[in-house]
Structure formats: structure tokens, C-alpha cells
Chain A
Amino acid sequence: MYPDYLKDSLEKVDQTRSKRLELAKSDKPVYPPMNAEEREDVLSKFHPDSTSGARSHIRVGPNKGEQLTTEITDLLEAHSMVDPKRMDAGLANPDYETDMLIIGGGGAGCWAAITAIKNGIKPMIATKLRLGDANSMMSEGGMQAAVTPQDSPTRHYLDAIGGGHFDNKPELVRALTEDGPEVVRELENLGVMWDKMEDGSLQVLHGGGTSRKRMVSCRDYIGAIIMRTLMDEVENHPHEISVREFEPAIELLLDDKGQCAGAVLYNLDTEQFLVVRAKTTVITTGGFGRLHIRGFATTNHYGATGDGLVMAYRAGAYLKFMDSVQYHPTGAIYPEQIAGFLITEKIRGAGGQPVNKDGELFVFPREPRDVESAAIIRECSSERNMGVGTASGRSGVWLDSPLIDMINGEGYTRHQFPGMCRAFDNYGIDIVKQPMLIYPSLHYQNGGIEINERCETNIPGLFIAGEASGGVHGRNRLMGNSVLDYNVFGRRVGKQASEYAKSVKLGKLSLEHVTAYDGEMISQGIDSDLISPVILPSYTPEDVKLQQLARLGNIPARHSMLRSRIGCSCNKGKGDK
């Protein structure tokens, strides 16, 4: 139920709806899409990446001197969890040996394992929480793939590279778009149930920045359907794939020839540091939403803290586009308990419209995400003051969902968006009849560790796939291209890395790069008390944390999670979605 103070504005949305429905039924855009100059203008003034302090120069490592997102610079100008000297015994006598270590059991990680065993390699997945506790589980709306006759992979290429402002690495966009149709087929052969038309063709919808309808879907549960299928398949091979849960990696190992040779794992229960010697190492650790960049609430899962970036960077890998962050245009802001919760873009694909407090359209509903988000922030800013305020002090705009049934027929919303309906039904809001209140939410790591189309990095033996990688999406990823990304590159990395594992000869294991990195920090005069990777965010109230940190002497248990979040605005109890 919406509170009384929102009634006036809700009535205005009702009043303007029939006019807007007419617009939606005409074949013209419901609001004029922005041209290049208008996009540039709204982005430079209102996108969070453009605010003062959003970026800062990094003083150490392969990207030294470049501007990165400030929170990333902080994360990289930080200390390791381990003292390399104390790891000597482990390095000489590893706890595990494997042909292929996959760090991160999300979508890309499971694919890597599934394709590796087809190539005769027995991999090990080390993951932070449970297998499938991942952003991949949460994706809602859909996956892009050029499957219809009026579409083509090259058209998909043009849409993706335009959405990324032409910064994307062309060979990666080609791999992404060209593998798309094949991935759709392989997933259904594994048992994924795509939404289909009567004749068996795939149901497709628009997403932000698409010039053809190409969003394939599983209602609004694409993540849960694909992820559970991939996990089930991984678990069908218990003798070939070993899975270590609650054992995140915290540092990569190199050998004396500079090849990546495994990782140090941290057992979350016992707090032991364990050494894995691996012929090849694949990072599939996903994104970083739980760093709450710029204090934003996030859509991401609990373990999305950018760990892969930290490990790879200390080992000498180059990062790409880590100066840009994706804010999803439509995160819920009411009710307060689900603040940050993602309202899938498919809602707009199916006809939902963002409207301001007077019920008026102010932006084309399907601009690329960064543009759409910036336009919403502008609408709520003091420049326009057309946002709707909540009692918790948030401000946002309406996402008018009742249009969806009016356009597509009664019952469409409930059938196609069961997850969305359920989330709001819990609080007495029927999105078939009433709009949702939304504001941009921290969503996606556009950049990452630079790869080529074989998922290789500048470190031999280190491969990356999925959200942790950089280059595929330039500085702005379009909806549906990251589910495609982890499927395409997860498959590719399994093949590439397992091939590599067959011929490589490893030397002596070493953590010297960690010692050297710390030395570089000292010589740059960097005096940080931060330890990274962060592993898990802490939502403990500040006064409680201070009591925990009173402990003297040796490093307190789980101290990096704790200390790294002190003083962060997200600890005020709001960022916990």
C-alpha cells in the first residue's frame, strides 16, 4: 500500500496514462530519443561518474598514473591479507593440486568447468559462498542474442559498440555477438526453458539501446533458471569437478617464470590460508556492487566486492575501463526494505514508462543505461525538482507498469513478471494497477581485467571471463549483454584455459609479487590501513564495529571486512540491499 502522501502524485500518473498509452500504440517513440550532444550533456552533468571525487589517480601497479573510480583506487592501494613470509611452508607443500583452478562459482565459473571437462581436464572451483551465490543467480530480464530473421549478429555488434560509446574492444564484441545464437541452443540443450512463441520461435523483446527485439528470456527469472541448470550440471560431475565453497581466493600465485600458478584461498570458517597449485587459473569472480560506490544502494549479491581485480592487479594484470560504473536506471526506492532491488529493464521493454511527479514523460524509456540513469537523476535534481520524495528521505520517479497489461493484454504482467509482482505483493502493491517508485541503483562493473577474445590476460596462465573482465562493454554495458557475456566467455575460457593446461610446465611457486607491490606502496608514500580483497561487506553499526576493533595485538578475525567499511556512508543502514 502506498502511503497517503503519495496519493496526489499517483493520481496524476493515472490521469496522464491514457494519453501515454496512445503514444505507446503509435509507431513513433513515446518521447524523442536523445542525439549524441544531448547524451553527452546529461552524462557530463548528472551521471555519478562525473561528480567531483568520483575518480582518482592510482599511484601503484600496471595502471599507475591513470584515473580509476575512487573506491577502486582505494581498494588497490591497500595491503594483502597474508604476510608472504609466513606462506613459505604452504608454497613448498601446497594443500591442493589441480590442472585448472576456477576462482568464482557463478555463471562464468560453472561454464568454465563444464567446457573444461569436455576437453579432458579436471578443474577445481573455489568460491566465496555457496556455488551459485552470484550475480548470475539474480539476473531477471533477459539475454541478448540475434535469433530473429529481421536481426543479425552484426546488427547486435553495432548496438553493443554504440551503447559502449565505441570504446569496446572490437574482437570481443564480435565474439560476444557471433556466439550468441549458439549459446541459446546450448543452454536449451542443457535444459533451460526459454520463453517461446506458439510456433517454437523465441519470444524477443527490446532492451535499452537495442535496434531490434532480441532479448530472450525465462519470464523474469532468467538468472535462477540458467544458474540452477549450470550448477546442476556441475554437480552431475562430482568425480571430475571438485568444488570448494566458503573458500575465497585472496591472492594469486606466480611461479619463478612469471606464469600464474594458482592462488591462496582463505577458509571463511577456520580462517586458514590454503595454497592451490594450478597449471592454469581462471578468474570468474564477477562484479563489485557491494563496494557501494558513491554511497549508492546496489542490486548485487553479497559477495560482489571486486576481489578478482585486486588479486590480478597485484600480480601485474592490466585493468581496462575501471573509471566507469553502471548504475541501473530502475532500482526500487519504496518500500524502504527493498531499496536498491532491481526492477528489470524488461518492464520498460514491455511498455513501462518512467514518469515524473506530474505523471509526465521526460525521457525515452529505452536510452542506454547510463543516459537513462543520468536523465532520472536530473529529473530529481534541484535543476528540475520533478522527483517524488519518500518519508525515508529518498527521491525518485514513477515507473508506470499498469501500461504493460494495457498494451500486451490482461494477465501479461503476472505471467511475464512473477518475480517483480511477488516482491511488491509482499508490501501490498499490485504493480498491474499501480506504478513503482524508482531511482538508479549501483549495478554493474563495466570494466575489469583486460582480456582478448581467447580470455587471455598479459600474465601467462591467467584467464578471465564474465563481469570481472574488461573490454567487452566499453564504458557502458547494455541490458542482456552480460548474461550473454558470462555464457559466451565462460564457455570460451573453459576451452582456452584447458588447452593451455595441457602443455604448461610450472616452476617454483612464489608470492614475491605481493612483497614487491607492498614495497611500491611504501616508496610512493601510501599509508593505508585497508586490507583487500574485501571479501564481504559489513553492515554492522559503526559503534558495534568500534567495540570489535578494540581488540589488541594480532589481526582480529575477519578484520578486513570490518575495517574496510568504517566511515562509509552505506553503513547507515540503507545500503544493505
Chain B
Amino acid sequence: MSGDQQNETDDKNKVVIDTGESEQPQTRMVTVVIMGKPALVPDDATIMRAIEYSGQQIIRGAGCREGFCGTIYRLPGDYRIHTGLACTTLVQEGMALSQIPSVPLEKAVYDLEKLTPDVDTIKALYPVTFRCVACGTCTKACPQGLQVMDYIQSAMRGDIAELMELSYECVGCGLCALRCPSEIIQHKVAILGKRLYGRYLRKESKELDIRIQQVKNHEYDGEYAELMSLGREALSERYYARDTE
């Protein structure tokens, strides 16, 4: 291997590696307006890919690249504001877009151990929730297609189980909170609801209690000691002979 980085990379490209892909398909180009500036990008690009194609290094507004960062956009001849996730939404001709990398808000600070899973907690921590006018803008804004307004209504009724269920797939992009005319921070109410459910409303597992106790009582120490003393071959024999459920 040579010490020259550039040559190395070139050499590597000559090695035929089966990465499951070969030549590029032909793509058409479209014009999109990225945060105020027009750029020509491939028509099969996601918003994120389009931004990068135009030469920008994304710093804010890219995390997993699989659906957690919000984007808003408008389309030609369409008065509406659309919302989407930058990494999963495809570009369209004439799309004018802005990424929303962060949502200014004040998260309630609390000690989960001191809460009760009911409406009092919602009132105490997120009183703004009760300003909901049931307009449904949050639901329209949700790029995950969740019934956001419905889960806010569940929160107002203190139905924590329903709040958890309806907000299960929330990715926390915060687009609902930005569009809400009542300035509710829906996605933070959602995480509170989930934590309350997990902590207080779950069904207990007796099997788990028993297992934790067994570990505490050192019931597996002997078996561990034995397994850890086995040589590679003996261990391998044991492994391949084990039965499967």
C-alpha cells in the first residue's frame, strides 16, 4: 500500500468489488429553490441529496438521514405550505424549500418519579396544551401522517394510554409545534406521555422479576465460570451442539 492517499483511493477503485451495483441510470434534471437560491438537481433526488448535489455541506438538519428532520416547501401554483422530511421527500420542479433544523422551545423539566400518569401532570408541565382550538393544523403538518390533534385531545382528557398509542411513531421533528396557532409543543407532550405510560401504566413482568433476582443471587456464577474456562474447541463444540427453541 502506498502512502499517497490519492493514489490509494484510485487504486481501490480499480479493484472489482461486488457492492451490488454497477452503472448509473440516466437522470433528468429539475430546478429547485434551496433556501432562496435556485439549483439544478437530479429529479429523483431527495431534498437532502439535492442540497448536497448543489455543493453545500449540510451541518444542521441531517441526523439519521432516515426521517427525523423537518423541511417546509411550496410548489408552483399552489398556495399551501407543505411539510416533509428532507431525507425521504423527493424534489419536484419548482419546489422552493427551507430546512427546519431546530425548533425553539422550552422543554418542561421534571422528575419522573414524582409524577402521576394523569391530566394533572399535563396541566402542571404543559399548561399551554389546553389552549388547543382543535383546528387540526398540527395533523396536517405531520410528515409522519399522525393524528396529532387527536393525541393532544387525549392529553387534555388525561388519557395517557391513547396519547402514547397515537404518538408512537412521532419522530420529534417539531413541524406541528411550528404550525400550531396556539403555540403548543405537541412532540414534547408526546414524549412525556410515552414515559408516563412506560413508567406507570405498563403491565409488570413476573418472569423479569424472577430473572433479576436470580442474577442478584449469583445463581449463574457457576455456569459462567465453567463456560469462561473452556478452550476454543470445547466452547465451539458446546456452541454447535446447543438446541434451538
Contact = CB atoms under 8 A, between A and B. Distances in A.
Given A147-B211, A193-B198, A527-B4, A269 B59 contact: yes
Contact of A536 (B4, B59, B206, B228): B59
Contacts of B112: 190-191, 233, 236
A363 interface: no
A381 B16 CA distance: 12
Contacts of B79: none
Given A132-B63, A268-B59, A301-B63, A154 B202 contact: no
A393 B24 contact: yes
A228 interface: yes
Contact of B144 (A36, A48, A422): A422
A577 B1 contact: no
Interface stretch (A5-13, A158-166, A354-362, A487-495): A158-166
B15 A392 contact: no
B183 interface: no
B39 to A, nearest CB: 11
12 contacts: A134-B64, A153-B220, A161-B239, A188-B199, A191-B198, A193-B197, A196-B205, A225-B194, A302-B63, A333-B20, A380-B20, A392-B21
Which has the most chain A C-beta neighbours within 10 Å: B22, B206, B207, B223?
B207
A236 B109 contact: yes
Interface residues of B, number: 89
Contacts of A302: 58, 62-65
Interface string A161-203: 1100010001100100010011011001111111010011110
B203 A200 contact: yes
Given A133-B68, A161-B239, 6 more contacts: A161-B227, A184-B208, A191-B199, A201-B207, A439-B20, A524-B3
A537 B60 CA distance: 14
B120 interface: no
Contacts of A25: none
Contacts of B244: 211-212
Nearest to A187: B198
Contacts of A166: 232, 235-236, 239
Interface in A520-545: 524-530, 536, 538-541, 544
Contacts of B53: 539-541, 573
Which secondary structure dominates chain A's binding surface?
loop
A576 B52 contact: yes
Contacts of A539: 49, 52-53
A228 B172 contact: yes
A191 B195 contact: yes
Interface of A: 35-36, 48, 51-53, 56-57, 70, 73-74, 77-78, 129-130, 132-134, 137-138, 146-150, 152-155, 157-159, 161-162, 166, 170-171, 174, 178, 181-182, 184-185, 188-194, 196, 199-202, 206, 211-213, 219, 221, 224-225, 228-229, 232-233, 235-238, 246, 268-269, 294-297, 301-303, 333, 336-338, 341, 377, 380-381, 391-396, 418-419, 422-423, 426, 439-440, 524-530, 536, 538-541, 544, 547-548, 558, 561-562, 566-569, 572-574, 576-577
B13 A567 contact: yes
A233 B210 CA distance: 27
Contact of B19 (A212, A295, A336, A337): A295
Interface stretch (B128-136, B149-157, B163-171): B163-171
A219 B228 CA distance: 34
Contacts of A547: 55
A185 B46 contact: no
A396 B49 CA distance: 23
B78 interface: no
B15 A53 contact: yes
A422 B194 CA distance: 21
Contacts of B227: 154, 157-158, 161, 170
B107 interface: yes
B196 interface: yes
Contact of A567 (B9, B197, B208, B223): B9
B217 interface: no
A211 B199 contact: no
A211 B243 contact: yes
B28 interface: no
Nearest to A295: B19
Contacts of A396: 20
Interface in B85-144: 88, 90, 102, 107, 109-112, 144
Contacts of A158: 227, 235, 238-239, 242
Contact of B195 (A147, A152, A190, A569): A190
B44 to A, nearest CB: 7
Contacts of B44: 336-337
Interface in B27-79: 42, 44, 46, 48-49, 52-53, 55-60, 62-66, 68
Given A381-B18, A439-B20, A527-B4, A540 B238 contact: no
Nearest to B25: A392
A53 B57 contact: no
Interface string B204-235: 11111011100100001001100110001001
Contacts of A341: 66
Nearest to A57: B1
A152 B212 contact: no
A235 B106 CA distance: 11
Nearest to B10: A567
Contact of B236 (A137, A162, A170, A191): A162
B68 A137 contact: yes
